[in-house]
A and B are shown apart, each in its own frame.
Chain A
Amino acid sequence: MPEQVTLITGARKGLGRYLAEQRLARGERVYGCSREPSDLVSPRYEHFCLDVSDERAVRQMFSRIRKEAGRLDHLVNNAGVASMNHAMLTPMSVVESILSTNVAGTFLMCREAARVMQTNGFGRIVNVTSVAAPLHLEGESIYAASKSAVQTLTQILAHELAPFGITVNAVGPTPVMTDLIRNVPADRIASLLARQAIPRLGTPEDVHNVVDFFFRKESGFVTAQSVFLGGVC
């Protein structure tokens, strides 16, 4: 079986870094990207510094991956930005930044990944959404809206890419202690956890468990699904 190739966006730190390490531990060749350089060192890891919504940079990255690895089996669209603020205090620059990274960036990565994956008739795409969407969290209108858009993208792309052997699914973590939520007040996190069936913070292991399930060859009949952790629905 040829070496499996995985691309993870937002791989420099937090959840993305953990996922990259897990896939490396499984013997896969892993590519990561983020705006800043990574200190992850492995002979099977390569990092690209780019903005996921920069079409030219993203296309150059996929060109490199295709020429070097000859294939792409898995993509995790983990890169994302969040901003928690009342709608009346949210600047348009923040709105544009969130939509650009979370929605346009996710679409662009899916599009380019599918072009490489379709040549082998196999691919697994996992988009990272958030419980902020189904919980309709106040103060996160644009972030939650962007993640709802990611779920819709996931469902429609699943249909468009199914004929090419590519599945598209999403995982929606509960709060995981990463930089994304480090500045969220503790009482706000507590009230959010109280709305979960299992009221605890998520862990990177919880997220990887779902990603790993979607990645499996045996999961070829599982597509267009969004799995929320902690009992959120």
Chain B
Amino acid sequence: MPQDETHVTEVIRRLVLDWCADHNDATERKVDVASGDAAPLFGIERVLDSLALVGLLVAVEQGIDDELGVILTLADEKAASQVKSPFRTIGSLVAYATKRALEESSAHA
């Protein structure tokens, strides 16, 4: 079923922030969630190592499946082909995951 973009964005932002909160409780290299969408995740200014990024993406994918009923892969060819990594900040990840969730939702409506 096609989904409302605002709702999808809210759900995904909450999933990302929940994961960041758990991550920040467990490590010293914390995601600066106070910076909002600009908070760096992965890339030149990265705070997450590759294993942490795996954990974040899997958590967001599973959350999208649980809450929106959409099964998708975030680290796919589309992500790799972006000029700028969609995983560089909280905002870019939320925007990319929202776009992909809406695409998948429409494709299998």
Contacts and interface: CB of A to CB of B under 8 A. Distances in A.
Interface of A: 56, 59-60, 63, 66-67, 115, 118-119, 163
A170 B74 CA distance: 29
B62 A163 contact: no
Contact of B66 (A60, A67, A115): A67
A63 B58 contact: no
Interface in B40-61: 51, 54-55, 58, 61
Given A63-B65, A67-B66, A163-B51, A118 B71 contact: no
Interface residues of B, number: 9
A56 B65 CA distance: 13
A63 B71 contact: yes
Interface of B: 51, 54-55, 58, 61-62, 65-66, 71
Contacts, number: 17
A97 B83 CA distance: 36
A115 B58 CA distance: 6
A119 to B, nearest CB: 8
Given A63-B65, A115-B58, A115-B61, 14 more contacts: A56-B71, A59-B71, A60-B71, A63-B71, A66-B62, A66-B65, A67-B66, A115-B62, A118-B54, A118-B55, A118-B58, A119-B58, A119-B62, A163-B51
Which secondary structure dominates where chain B touches chain A? Answer: helix
Contacts of A118: 54-55, 58
A173 B71 CA distance: 36
17 contacts: A56-B71, A59-B71, A60-B71, A63-B65, A63-B71, A66-B62, A66-B65, A67-B66, A115-B58, A115-B61, A115-B62, A118-B54, A118-B55, A118-B58, A119-B58, A119-B62, A163-B51
